[in-house]
């Protein structure tokens, strides 16, 4: 190999590594640049996150959260209740790139099809029996019935659900690689928003009466 060809080869390798190195930082929230940045949720300015509370105002309580100690009220259409442990309820998570949810299910309850645009998800079943499934962008469906102690993983952005298929209540905890993973809940996005009926009738190939009936279930 000539000297020039060798130089070009090494330059190409260096450029490739230089290009690849930043990629992990885009897989979740940006890495923090200080020990902590407790969110100032009342700040008027927010740039892709929350500004830090002054360190002099930070207390021990900012790093502890008791929101998962109580069972959620599952008396609703989905017979489930999600308690979020994200930056909005637990400001100490700001910039840490982590959060959790507690999900309670009554018998037959469902955490309806939804996706998290900003995070992958892992979860563990604590009580009961859950059917957990997700669908890929190629419409391939993966699922399994899980019981206490079983874990599951949901790739970022994919539509997924959990359905209580047991004889009693169920409980699961989920964790995310974002302090605010977001949730796009499919039935609510479609039937509890202002999407025109014309769009929905053409999409689902049904008449407007059926769309209106479904919308009525979600208060639209």
Binding site listing for oxalate = 101, 111, 116, 121
Residue stretches of the annotated binding site: 101, 111, 114, 116, 121, 160
HEC states along 37-105? CCECCCCCCCCCCCCECCHHHCCHHHHCCCCCCCCCCCCCCCCEEEEEECCCCCHHHCCCCCEEEEEEE
Contacts of 77 (CB under 8 A, 6+ apart): 217, 218
- The secondary structure element, H or E, covering residue 145 is strand 141-147
Please provide residue 175's backbone torsions phi and psi, each rounded to the nearest 5 degrees. Answer: -135, 150
CA dist., res. 135 & res. 158, Å (int): 6
Both tokens assigned to 119: 């995070």
Residue stretches of the annotated binding site for Mn(2+): 114, 116, 121, 160
Residue 110 in contact with residue 78, Cβ under 8 Å? Answer: yes
The radius of gyration of the chain from alpha carbons, rounded to an integer in Å, stands at 22
Please provide residue 55's backbone torsions phi and psi, each rounded to the nearest 5 degrees. Answer: -55, -30
């Amino acid at each position: 190999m000539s000297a020039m060809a060798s130089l070009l080869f090494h330059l190409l390798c260096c450029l490739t590594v230089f290009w690849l190195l930043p990629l992990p930082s885009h897989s979740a929230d940006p890495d923090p640049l200080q020990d902590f940045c407790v969110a100032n949720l009342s700040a008027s300015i927010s740039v892709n996150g929350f500004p830090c509370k002054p360190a002099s105002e930070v207390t021990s309580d900012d790093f502890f959260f008791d929101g998962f100690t109580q069972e959620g009220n599952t008396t609703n259409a989905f017979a489930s209740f999600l308690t979020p442990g994200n930056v909005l309820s637990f400001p100490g998570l700001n910039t840490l790139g982590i959060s959790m949810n507690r999900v309670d299910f009554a018998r037959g309850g469902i955490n309806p099809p939804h996706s998290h645009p900003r995070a992958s998800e892992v979860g563990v079943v604590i009580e009961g029996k859950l059917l957990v499934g997700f669908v890929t962008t190629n419409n391939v469906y993966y699922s399994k019935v899980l019981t206490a102690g079983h874990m599951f993983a949901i790739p970022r952005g994919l539509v997924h659900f959990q359905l209580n298929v047991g004889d009693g209540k169920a409980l699961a905890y989920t964790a995310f690689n974002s302090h605010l993973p977001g949730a796009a809940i499919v039935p609510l996005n479609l039937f509890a928003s202002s999407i025109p009926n014309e769009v929905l009738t053409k999409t689902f190939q049904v008449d407007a009466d059926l769309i209106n009936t479904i919308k009525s279930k979600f208060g639209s």
